[in-house]
Structure 1
Amino acid sequence: MADMNTASTSQSPAVRVENLHGTGVITLDRPKALNALNHEMISAIAAALDTFRDDDAVQRVLLCSAGEKAYCAGGDVRSVRESDLTGDFTPGDDLFRDEYDMNHALATFPKPTIAVVDGIAMGGGLGVSAHAGIRVITERTWESMPEMAIGFITDVGISHAFTHLPHVPEESRTALGLFLATTAYRITADDLLWTGLATHILRDGDTVGFRESLVNEGLEAALGRTGGRDSAGTSALAENLEWITATFAGEDWAAIEERIAEAEGEFAESVREMLAPANPLSLVAATALLNYSAHSTLRQALDAEYALGRLLRRQPNFPEGVRAVLVDKDRQASFSPAAVADATPAQVEEIRRTVSES
């Protein structure tokens, strides 16, 4: 890679920040943890964006990662759980507020932003990629939002991104967004290109070569190494869009769940399996949130995510879900209520009120 014009100034050893001949480069460098974001990393990314925004020598910003296995496997919800369990919710509140502000700063950045997403991107990983203007993937890339299983909600602004997918017919966007938010569906490279979550694909997987071309030759030359949406293969989302649209439409998860239970076919069975680990109240919350975010600005969606997240983290299902998925890893969460049908009208109303008043 080209010589640096300025030295790294990152606040975190897990985030490398460089100015390479006018390209501001932010590299997630915590490969042993699959580049999962902690608060220190979030602050470092935010600070880098602030610096690059005000630096006239920086023409564009590149976000990338160390290692081929994962771009970013999510956020550090284990540490949030630990502090929440002590009764001190402030560290978690601060982390999510700062993360969502960073997501918004990326989405509204006034210079070209390019995310090279190689490997896994989950949860918070989408927050530092899906809001970039140009989103380059490889054939190793897949993405998912798995928050339902940890008793949380779809966040980092993805409730907005999922309901504003540029290549999806407008009448299907909210239903498809809710499907992606609730099922933790593994979005393939072809799905990413078809929906517009990705704008380009690097078929040879040479992300280092892409970065070198970007730094030394410019954005047009780097994108010349990629393929576009017309190079996508078969998308399972596209093939099942009609069913998803009809099944996941509406603002009442109980009605959606009934349609899913009655549906026949291999895809419907796979959807039931994907939904099995989900916290029932998270499903209710996601339904309210996605229907709200479909008609909101990104900032409004982030604020609603923050309000709902605060609510759910103060209930026992969040620590239980994180325990089951990330601590003990037994995948045997005991959620209460155990079924959407057992949720009280007061619980449902509290969720809907939290979204509407956010």
Structure 2
Amino acid sequence: MTDAALTVKDLWKIFGRGADKIIGTPDADLSRADLKAKTGCVVGVRDVSFEVAPGEVFVVMGLSGSGKSTLVRCLTRLIEPTAGEVVIDGHDITKANESELRELRRTHASMVFQHFGLLPHRQVIDNVAYGLEVRGVGRKERREKAAEIVDLVGLSGYEMSYPDQLSGGMQQRVGLARALANDPSLLLFDEPFSALDPLIRRDMQNEVIRLHHELGKTMVFITHDLQEALKLGDRILIMRDGEIVQIGTPDEVVGAPADDYVKDFTSEVPKSHVLTLKWVMREPDGQAVDGPVLRSDQIVRDAARTVLDHRGPCRVVDGDTVVGLVDDEDILRVVVAEESLA
């Protein structure tokens, strides 16, 4: 991956006295529990490296204590990394001085938290414009920009409302609008919808998808919810005990889990909703096949009706090349396996 929007290399965060002296020693290879017992230090993030492409939605997920929230806070040095490198749009965050870091946070990266952190004494329009105010943008200009973003996130008509007059979902929209108002290149979401009711949470997930399609922002999204990760992510990083267990696209994580930990995570996922045809097709045998042509990256569920209606093999292509065949048995094999889990 070249010209990455975000590059994380060999990132460590160890909490405790003398943490910086552990990396590079045999103690660094100890398990989290053994290191704590020996040194009193706790590993939050252990030697993590990855890249995020411009315009990608990159999801980091794991159970409580896996290190995902520590990781996202290290990306903007809300938590100071112990070692490693974080580069956002060519700027090495770990080498920035205080003024450079403030500027990077104001212009390159914005964060949306689970707890909205809205200013209770300010109306929606001024909450959204707050970042612009900090940057020294004039009142008229910042209010005009804030009004555009308020409309973008579906809050038109609520500009003059105060936070306590809004529902939880609407407050989170204000938080999202505030993050967007600075026009950052990178949006960081730290479990932003965890406290919302399920229906509101689903609406907000759809809102993120819509905004991503409209704006094309690079996004790093933290969650403990696999369904949320599969719905939002172009790629998913799964963490355990501060380490990377697997990085892959949703269909790779579900179709080829790296270990039993990931396999357990994905065991109840409806595979026809995630797997693409490349996971269920068989090798082309050279026979002439007429009928529908399907893409190898098409979701099984979306292709099912076409395949079942055809009542025969369908060609699966990658670009202009036939890479496989799929028929009703291939589709039904996935669906029947799902029903056996239900």
Task: Determine which structure has more spread, i.e. the larger CA radius of gyration.
Answer: 2
More helix as a share of residues: 1
More strand as a share of residues: 2
Is the pair's TM-score, using the shorter chain for normalization, greater than 0.5?
no
For Structure 1 versus Structure 2, the TM-score category normalised by the shorter chain is under 0.3
With structure 2 as the length reference, what TM-score do the two structures score?
0.26
With structure 1 as the length reference, what TM-score do the two structures score?
0.25
